[in-house]
Amino acid sequence: MAKLSVNINKIATLRNSRGGNNPDLVKVALDCERFGAEGITVHPRPDERHIRYQDTYDLMASISTEFNIEGNCREQKFVKLVLANRPAQVTLVPDTEGQITSNHGWDTIKHKTYLKEMVSIFQSEAIRVSIFIDPIVDMIDAAAESGTDRIELYTEAYAHNYYNNREKAIVSYVAAAHKANEIGLGINAGHDLDLHNLKYFSESIPGLLEVSIGHALISDALYLGLENTIQMYLRQLKH
């Protein structure tokens, strides 16, 4: 069964909209763990429009499950932040400045030398590294050459095409997973996974280790309650 890591960026967005500390980000993270989440994910950005850099220190000192910090390693402030916290995992995402949300994976062929250097830096501090990547077999081969521990499959295309033809939408992801398994890379996944498309994805992807879900899960929690929602997502991962 793949682990569920809850991305709490949207909780920070709500908090920041009024200032102060309501909702309390650390309390929400601890509640997510108490309700069954097996990890907490944050994705700080330079403008701190949701997760603030200080949040990572507060969370690292408080949570007991796996902590995953996502972000753009081309930002030196992000690199320093991760090295100072030493989370269980860092996920390298090729964001551009001002980007609303992540919308593409790394070109691991073009940036292989750079990624190899960054992977080594984080691994030297005993931080597991995952590279955000599109489901392209050649990119997965190149990712392996960087020395990364895992890849995170960018699942927006799957989610977008799920209702039109889910069998067709999953094809490239299955091929990518088989390649990753063949060469010994762990597999994570995230972006636009939700209560409707998660079960089919998790059942179709061999060796799936972890999914990171934020926007859909927090949106569902507005109607269903946070505890109930987390339990519902966990049930989608059981098969």
Q: Which residues are catalytic?
A: 43, 70, 191
Tokens of 117: 């250097």
With contact defined as beta carbons under 8 Å apart, do 129 and 92 qualify?
yes
Sign of CA dihedral 82, 103, 106, 214: positive
Residue 230: closest CA among 15, 16, 30: 30
Closest to 193 (Cα-Cα) out of 176, 177, 169, 172: 169
Mapping DSSP to helix (H, G, I), strand (E, B) and coil, where does residue 199 land?
helix
**173, 177, 180, 186: CA torsion to nearest 10:** 110
Phi and psi at 128, nearest 5°, equal -70, 140
Whole-angstrom distance, CA of residue 37 vs CA of residue 31:
9
Dump the DSSP string for 101-144. S------TTTTHHHHHHHHHHHHTTT-EEEEEE-S-HHHHHHHH
Cα end-to-end distance, the chain, whole Å: 7
Nearest to residue 91, comparing CAs of 129, 133, 136? 129
DSSP percent split of the chain into helix, strand, coil, nearest 5 = 45, 15, 35
